Amino acid sequence: MYLSKTQNLEDAITKEFLNEHPKISAGTISTNDMIPFIRAYNAYGDDALNINITLKYKHLTEDSMQSYYAADILFVKKTNRRYFMYITNNKDESKGQVFYNMPIDAKTGWCGHEDGHLMDYEEKSKRQILGFTLAYSFNWLLSKIPEIILKIGKKRVTIEPGIKYLKRIEQNINMRAIKAGLEHELASGIDYTIDISKIPKRIKKRYSQIYKAIN
Ligand SMILES: [Zn+2]
């Protein structure tokens, strides 16, 4: 009885939100997953995120969520830009993050992080988007190369290419979520990923290098 009442409430909140926000399209996203999105969206406010966002489930190999601009971004006016926010439909933590398993605060934190990426794209010119995409992709590929260990004198120096750049970008995105008042939710998302989830160690390591608290 209690569960079905909660479900009805979530359905009603989602329906009302989508009616009031015609630029947001939720497709097959369950109301259960829409609630954390709505919480994060409301933290930023309508003015901050007055953009076309389509939410979709997608098979993501490591992350719980990802955000992209539509492929035509270099050819359309700013008012016609479209963005996608993907939620992983992976249900197996041995392969990567499972959005489904996370507590609502953790889900809200990651939604808030992705909102930050969308705002960041929206503020960029076409030229800046192109430059950013090239730099991010290049550094992402570099970060996949195993650690390069150099011996300088007797000291071992470990170089992890790409990580420094990715960390700077992602920490700036985290700052947006924190400024929107989502500090607790963001910390909950990061802590869940690193400390609680059963995802592979190599993914946890990436998350602790790139997303963990600003220092
Ligand atoms: Zn990010």
Please say whether the beta carbons of 170 and 97 come within 8 A.
no
pLDDT band at residue 27 under the 50/70/90 scheme = confident
Q: What separation in Å is there between the alpha carbon of 186 and the centre of ligand 1?
A: 11
Single pTM value for the model:
0.91
When pLDDT is averaged across residues 184-212 and rounded to a whole number, the result is: 95
Alpha helices in the chain (DSSP H): 2-20, 31-44, 104-123, 126-143, 163-179, 183-191, 201-210
What is the 31 CA–ligand 1 centroid distance (Å)?
23
Distance 28 CA to ligand 1 centre (A): 23
Q: What is the pLDDT of residue 143?
A: 87
Alpha carbon of 32 to ligand 1 centroid (Å): 22
If you measure from the C-alpha of residue 86 to the centroid of ligand 1, how many angstroms do you get, rounded to a whole number?
Answer: 12
CA of 153 relative to ligand 1 center, distance in Å? 37
- CA 116 to ligand 1 centroid distance, Å: 8
For range 161-185, the mean pLDDT: 95
- pLDDT of 135 > 70? The answer is yes
Look up tokens 């995409």; give the residue: 133
Q: What mean pLDDT is predicted for residues 39-61?
A: 96
Strands 65-69 and 52-58: unpaired
Ligand 1 midpoint to CA 143 (Å): 15
Residue 154 has pLDDT above 90, yes or no: no
What separation in Å is there between the alpha carbon of 117 and the centre of ligand 1?
6
Q: How far is the CA of 46 from the centre of ligand 1 (A)?
A: 21
Average pLDDT of the residues of the chain: 92
CA of 30 to the centre of ligand 1 (A): 23
Average pLDDT over residues 156-172: 86
Average pLDDT over residues 84-105: 96
Helix (H) or strand (E) holding 88: strand 82-88
Looking up tokens 């939100």, which residue turns up? 17
**172 with 165: CB under 8 angstroms?**
no
Q: What's the gap in Å between 6 CA and the centre of ligand 1?
A: 31
Query: What are the residue ranges spanned by the domains of the chain?
Result: 2-210
